[in-house]
Every structure is written in C-alpha cells, then in structure tokens.
Amino acid sequence: DFEKHNVSPLEAIYEIDKFSQAYIEMINAEDKYIYCLKYLRHKIYWHSIMATAIYSNYPYIQELKKVLVAFYYQNWIAGATIARIKQTSFNILKLVKEQKEIEYIKGECLKNLKSYNTIETFDTELNSPYVYGKSWDRATLLLLEYFSQDNSSQKFIPLNSNLQIEHILPQTITKDNIIWEKDFPDKEKRELVTDSIGNLTLLSMRKNVQ
C-alpha cells in the first residue's frame, strides 16, 4: 500500500504523528469555541474538521470555529438527526483540506440549514416557553456564559451532575416565595416564562442547595 501511494513507511509515521499532535492541540486548547463544541453529542465530525485545520495550517481557523459552533448548535437545538449533518460535515472537511476560503464553508452550512428549514426551527425552539429539560439547555446556557465575558483565560466547565439549572422565577409559588406572585399575578403568563431560557440560570450543586 505504501508503494501504491508512493509514500515511505517513515513518511507515513511522521504524518500520523503530526496529525496526532494537531488533535492533542485541539483537545487541550483553552478556547471558548472549542469548549462549546465539546458539549456536542456527535464529536467525530468537528474533531475531524478542527484537527485537520490545525494539521494543514488552515488560514481561516478562527472563523472556522465560529462557523462550526453556529452550524452544529442550530442543528442540535432544532432537533436534527445525525443524517442531516453527516454529509455537510464531510463536505466541510474536504473544503478545509483544499484550503478553501471560509465563505465556501459558510455557504455549505447555509445550504444545509436552508434545505431543512433549520434556522426557523432553531428560532422556535430557542424562544419556546419549554426550554427547561431539553438535551441542550445546559450547554446553551454555558455558551451564553462563555460569551458574556470578555475573558481570554476562561476555563472549560464540564457538564456533570455538579452543574445544575435553577429557575429564577420559581416553578411553584409557596408561602416561602409568595413575593413572586405579587410581581407575576397572572398564572398563565407566569407559566409561559417559567421554563423559558431567560428564566434559567446555572449553579453548582452546592450553591443550588444553599
């Protein structure tokens, strides 16, 4: 096989090592875009794209990270299946290998989003009164957390049982929090905002208990 492709075993080993180093650099990057991508369920696609971008010194790598976050999160929130992102991911990977300008990749993503009506579905889901309990609720709140801070030394926040969602306006009005009823006397309107994304915040388990 090496002879068939006119590649020596040593050259192949060197390239494998170089790609491995690119992958390690990507995984260990202290970068808010990479942090957001790490929460995605289907990691193989963005892993392959970003590792290849680093390996090949893709000149638009900063813009690429932004495009990938926008594309994959819109699909995730819109409830897209793996089949809907698979081919587009392969196409993006090919464009990165070919060192195509970022506009080509943006165009590939937009073509996918428009063909499945993803943008409209994403907007509906994100603005729904029933965000709490969605598979993407904590990840999306963390995305907002990362980008609400102008801090280049942010650390990755893992999604685990220590990170919990708390309602600001409580789900249930009791004698201990009756003051909320004064500010939100209309029960129907209260129910419309209770589980919306604007009423949710992230707390560590310890702070939430307190």
Mean pLDDT to the nearest integer, 24-46: 95
Q: Closest by alpha carbon to 147, among 74, 66, 205?
A: 66
- Which tens digit of pLDDT belongs to each residue from 80-112? 999 999 999 999 999 999 999 999 999 999 999
- Which tens digit of pLDDT belongs to each residue from 56-70? 999 999 999 999 999
Give residue 2's pLDDT.
45
Amino acid letter for position 174:
T
Q: What is the mean pLDDT of the chain?
A: 91
Give the global pTM: 0.89
Q: With contact defined as beta carbons under 8 Å apart, do 24 and 69 qualify?
A: no
